[in-house]
Amino acid sequence: MGAQWKAKHKDLAANARGRAFGKLSKDLMVAARNGADPDMNSRLRLVVEQAKKVSMPRDTIERAIKKGAGLLGDPVHFERVTYEGFAPHRVPVIVECLTDNLNRTVSEIRVCFRKGQLGAAGSVAWDFDHLGMIEAAPNPGADPELAAIEAGAQDFEPGEDGATLFLTDPTDLDLVCRALPNFGFTVLSAKIGYKSKSPVSLNEAEMAEVEHFLDAIDGQDDVQNVYVGLAG
Protein backbone atom coordinates (compact mmCIF):
# COMPACT_ATOMS: atom_id res chain seq x y z
CA MET A 1 0.00 0.00 0.00
CA GLY A 2 2.14 2.87 1.27
CA ALA A 3 0.37 5.51 -0.83
CA GLN A 4 -3.22 6.71 -0.83
CA TRP A 5 -5.73 4.94 1.39
CA LYS A 6 -8.66 3.42 -0.46
CA ALA A 7 -11.26 1.69 1.67
CA LYS A 8 -12.27 -1.78 0.53
CA HIS A 9 -15.49 -2.07 -1.47
CA LYS A 10 -16.42 1.59 -0.90
CA ASP A 11 -16.49 2.39 -4.61
CA LEU A 12 -19.64 0.30 -4.96
CA ALA A 13 -21.63 2.21 -2.35
CA ALA A 14 -23.91 5.07 -3.31
CA ASN A 15 -22.91 7.17 -0.30
CA ALA A 16 -19.23 6.65 -1.19
CA ARG A 17 -19.95 7.83 -4.72
CA GLY A 18 -21.54 10.96 -3.31
CA ARG A 19 -18.49 11.60 -1.11
CA ALA A 20 -16.19 11.10 -4.09
CA PHE A 21 -18.17 13.64 -6.13
CA GLY A 22 -18.08 16.07 -3.21
CA LYS A 23 -14.30 15.81 -2.92
CA LEU A 24 -13.84 16.22 -6.65
CA SER A 25 -16.11 19.29 -6.63
CA LYS A 26 -13.82 20.90 -4.05
CA ASP A 27 -10.75 20.04 -6.13
CA LEU A 28 -12.42 21.54 -9.20
CA MET A 29 -13.32 24.74 -7.36
CA VAL A 30 -9.80 25.17 -5.99
CA ALA A 31 -8.17 24.44 -9.36
CA ALA A 32 -10.53 26.85 -11.14
CA ARG A 33 -9.18 29.79 -9.11
CA ASN A 34 -6.36 29.90 -11.66
CA GLY A 35 -8.73 29.99 -14.63
CA ALA A 36 -11.91 28.25 -15.76
CA ASP A 37 -10.48 26.97 -19.06
CA PRO A 38 -8.98 23.47 -18.69
CA ASP A 39 -6.91 23.99 -21.85
CA MET A 40 -5.11 26.89 -20.16
CA ASN A 41 -5.08 25.44 -16.63
CA SER A 42 -3.18 22.16 -16.35
CA ARG A 43 -4.25 21.46 -12.78
CA LEU A 44 -7.91 21.96 -13.66
CA ARG A 45 -7.54 19.76 -16.73
CA LEU A 46 -6.24 16.87 -14.60
CA VAL A 47 -9.10 17.15 -12.12
CA VAL A 48 -11.68 17.34 -14.92
CA GLU A 49 -10.28 14.16 -16.45
CA GLN A 50 -10.40 12.44 -13.07
CA ALA A 51 -14.03 13.53 -12.60
CA LYS A 52 -14.97 12.20 -16.02
CA LYS A 53 -13.35 8.84 -15.26
CA VAL A 54 -15.72 8.32 -12.32
CA SER A 55 -18.73 9.44 -14.40
CA MET A 56 -19.31 12.70 -12.57
CA PRO A 57 -22.16 14.51 -14.39
CA ARG A 58 -21.04 17.21 -16.81
CA ASP A 59 -23.31 19.87 -15.31
CA THR A 60 -21.88 19.13 -11.84
CA ILE A 61 -18.34 19.56 -13.18
CA GLU A 62 -19.21 22.81 -14.96
CA ARG A 63 -21.02 24.23 -11.93
CA ALA A 64 -18.05 23.51 -9.64
CA ILE A 65 -15.66 25.18 -12.10
CA LYS A 66 -17.84 28.28 -12.37
CA LYS A 67 -18.19 28.53 -8.58
CA GLY A 68 -14.45 28.24 -8.10
CA ALA A 69 -13.72 30.84 -10.77
CA GLY A 70 -16.26 33.27 -9.31
CA LEU A 71 -18.56 33.13 -12.34
CA LEU A 72 -21.63 32.42 -10.17
CA GLY A 73 -21.09 35.27 -7.73
CA ASP A 74 -18.44 35.36 -5.03
CA PRO A 75 -15.97 32.46 -5.37
CA VAL A 76 -15.95 29.78 -2.69
CA HIS A 77 -12.77 29.85 -0.65
CA PHE A 78 -11.34 26.64 0.78
CA GLU A 79 -8.24 26.46 2.92
CA ARG A 80 -5.90 23.55 2.34
CA VAL A 81 -4.59 22.05 5.57
CA THR A 82 -2.53 18.92 6.24
CA TYR A 83 -2.44 16.84 9.42
CA GLU A 84 0.17 14.27 10.37
CA GLY A 85 0.17 11.55 12.97
CA PHE A 86 -0.06 7.86 13.68
CA ALA A 87 -2.82 5.30 13.34
CA PRO A 88 -2.87 2.42 15.86
CA HIS A 89 0.35 0.37 15.93
CA ARG A 90 2.43 3.44 15.00
CA VAL A 91 1.38 3.45 11.36
CA PRO A 92 2.25 6.90 9.89
CA VAL A 93 -0.62 8.85 8.33
CA ILE A 94 -0.89 12.11 6.38
CA VAL A 95 -4.37 13.63 6.00
CA GLU A 96 -5.08 16.36 3.45
CA CYS A 97 -8.18 18.51 3.94
CA LEU A 98 -9.97 21.32 2.13
CA THR A 99 -12.17 23.34 4.44
CA ASP A 100 -14.18 26.53 4.71
CA ASN A 101 -14.23 26.20 8.51
CA LEU A 102 -10.85 25.42 10.04
CA ASN A 103 -12.17 25.13 13.61
CA ARG A 104 -14.68 22.47 12.55
CA THR A 105 -12.05 20.50 10.68
CA VAL A 106 -9.53 20.59 13.52
CA SER A 107 -12.18 19.36 15.97
CA GLU A 108 -13.24 16.49 13.70
CA ILE A 109 -9.67 15.37 13.02
CA ARG A 110 -8.78 15.42 16.71
CA VAL A 111 -11.74 13.16 17.45
CA CYS A 112 -10.66 10.74 14.72
CA PHE A 113 -7.12 10.59 16.10
CA ARG A 114 -8.20 9.67 19.63
CA LYS A 115 -7.40 6.05 18.81
CA GLY A 116 -4.09 7.06 17.29
CA GLN A 117 -1.80 10.01 17.84
CA LEU A 118 -2.05 13.41 16.18
CA GLY A 119 1.40 14.84 15.60
CA ALA A 120 2.94 18.19 14.77
CA ALA A 121 3.81 19.33 11.25
CA GLY A 122 6.77 17.29 10.02
CA SER A 123 6.29 14.49 12.53
CA VAL A 124 5.80 11.85 9.82
CA ALA A 125 6.23 13.74 6.51
CA TRP A 126 9.95 12.97 6.57
CA ASP A 127 9.03 9.28 6.07
CA PHE A 128 7.11 9.99 2.83
CA ASP A 129 8.18 11.06 -0.66
CA HIS A 130 6.14 13.90 -2.18
CA LEU A 131 5.44 12.75 -5.74
CA GLY A 132 3.25 13.01 -8.78
CA MET A 133 1.18 9.83 -9.06
CA ILE A 134 -0.34 8.77 -12.37
CA GLU A 135 -2.53 5.69 -12.64
CA ALA A 136 -2.66 4.51 -16.25
CA ALA A 137 -4.11 1.48 -18.05
CA PRO A 138 -1.88 -0.24 -20.63
CA ASN A 139 -2.98 -0.98 -24.16
CA PRO A 140 -2.02 -4.45 -25.48
CA GLY A 141 1.75 -4.71 -25.81
CA ALA A 142 2.52 -1.49 -23.92
CA ASP A 143 5.83 -1.58 -22.03
CA PRO A 144 5.67 0.31 -18.69
CA GLU A 145 9.45 0.55 -18.34
CA LEU A 146 9.85 2.07 -21.81
CA ALA A 147 6.89 4.39 -21.19
CA ALA A 148 8.34 5.58 -17.88
CA ILE A 149 11.72 6.35 -19.45
CA GLU A 150 10.38 8.05 -22.56
CA ALA A 151 7.62 10.00 -20.81
CA GLY A 152 9.94 11.29 -18.09
CA ALA A 153 8.60 9.42 -15.04
CA GLN A 154 10.94 8.71 -12.14
CA ASP A 155 9.67 5.18 -11.55
CA PHE A 156 6.68 2.88 -11.98
CA GLU A 157 5.03 0.02 -10.10
CA PRO A 158 1.97 -2.22 -10.48
CA GLY A 159 -1.30 -0.43 -9.76
CA GLU A 160 -4.81 -1.71 -9.13
CA ASP A 161 -6.81 -3.86 -11.56
CA GLY A 162 -3.93 -4.27 -14.02
CA ALA A 163 -3.08 -0.57 -14.18
CA THR A 164 0.41 0.88 -13.77
CA LEU A 165 1.30 3.60 -11.27
CA PHE A 166 3.84 6.04 -12.68
CA LEU A 167 5.73 8.19 -10.16
CA THR A 168 7.03 11.62 -11.17
CA ASP A 169 8.53 14.78 -9.81
CA PRO A 170 5.53 16.97 -8.82
CA THR A 171 6.49 19.59 -11.42
CA ASP A 172 6.50 16.96 -14.20
CA LEU A 173 3.02 15.56 -13.52
CA ASP A 174 1.19 17.25 -16.41
CA LEU A 175 4.08 16.68 -18.84
CA VAL A 176 4.15 12.93 -18.13
CA CYS A 177 0.35 12.70 -18.33
CA ARG A 178 0.43 14.19 -21.81
CA ALA A 179 3.25 11.88 -22.94
CA LEU A 180 1.98 8.50 -21.68
CA PRO A 181 -0.72 8.03 -24.38
CA ASN A 182 2.07 8.14 -26.98
CA PHE A 183 3.50 4.97 -25.43
CA GLY A 184 0.33 2.92 -25.14
CA PHE A 185 -1.14 4.02 -21.81
CA THR A 186 -4.51 5.61 -21.01
CA VAL A 187 -4.32 7.93 -17.99
CA LEU A 188 -7.00 7.09 -15.42
CA SER A 189 -6.07 9.54 -12.68
CA ALA A 190 -3.28 11.92 -11.78
CA LYS A 191 -2.45 13.83 -8.62
CA ILE A 192 0.34 14.97 -6.34
CA GLY A 193 0.54 12.93 -3.16
CA TYR A 194 2.68 11.08 -0.67
CA LYS A 195 4.30 7.64 -0.82
CA SER A 196 5.76 5.98 2.26
CA LYS A 197 9.49 5.27 2.30
CA SER A 198 9.25 2.49 4.90
CA PRO A 199 5.74 0.95 5.08
CA VAL A 200 4.75 -0.88 8.26
CA SER A 201 3.76 -4.57 8.15
CA LEU A 202 0.87 -5.72 10.35
CA ASN A 203 -0.89 -8.98 11.15
CA GLU A 204 -4.54 -9.50 10.23
CA ALA A 205 -6.00 -8.31 13.53
CA GLU A 206 -3.81 -5.21 13.61
CA MET A 207 -4.67 -4.41 9.99
CA ALA A 208 -8.40 -4.58 10.77
CA GLU A 209 -7.93 -2.08 13.60
CA VAL A 210 -6.00 0.31 11.37
CA GLU A 211 -8.55 0.00 8.56
CA HIS A 212 -11.35 0.93 10.96
CA PHE A 213 -9.35 3.98 12.03
CA LEU A 214 -8.69 5.04 8.41
CA ASP A 215 -12.32 4.50 7.40
CA ALA A 216 -13.40 6.97 10.10
CA ILE A 217 -10.97 9.62 8.85
CA ASP A 218 -11.81 9.08 5.18
CA GLY A 219 -15.50 9.50 5.98
CA GLN A 220 -15.05 13.11 7.14
CA ASP A 221 -16.46 15.65 4.70
CA ASP A 222 -13.42 17.93 4.83
CA VAL A 223 -10.91 15.14 4.18
CA GLN A 224 -9.68 14.99 0.59
CA ASN A 225 -6.88 12.41 0.73
CA VAL A 226 -5.41 10.02 3.29
CA TYR A 227 -1.89 8.67 2.80
CA VAL A 228 -0.71 5.80 4.96
CA GLY A 229 2.54 3.95 5.50
CA LEU A 230 1.19 0.39 5.29
CA ALA A 231 2.87 -2.52 3.56
CA GLY A 232 0.85 -4.86 1.37
Flag whether 31 is in a domain: yes
Low-confidence ranges of the chain (pLDDT < 70): 1-16, 75, 232
If one counts every other C-beta atom within 10 angstroms of the C-beta of residue 74, the result is 7
Flag whether 61 is in a domain: yes
Q: What is the pLDDT of residue 12?
A: 43
- Is residue 94 within 8 Å of 87, Cβ to Cβ? no
Query: In terms of DSSP bridges, do strands 128-138 and 164-168 run parallel, antiparallel, or are they unpaired?
Result: antiparallel
Choose among 14, 9, 51: nearest CA to 29: 51
- Cα separation of 229 and 211, whole Å? 12
- Cα separation of 109 and 120, whole Å? 13
- Which CATH number goes with the domain that contains 35? 1.10.10.200
pTM: 0.83
Q: What is the pLDDT of residue 197?
A: 92
- Cα separation of 211 and 202, whole Å? 11
Flag whether 223 is in a domain: no
Q: What is the pLDDT of residue 5?
A: 58
Q: How far, in whole angstroms, is CA 95 from its chain's centroid?
A: 10
Flag whether 108 is in a domain: no
Flag whether 14 is in a domain: yes
Q: Into how many domains does the chain fold?
A: 1
Find the domain containing 33 and state its range: 10-69
Flag whether 219 is in a domain: no
Flag whether 56 is in a domain: yes
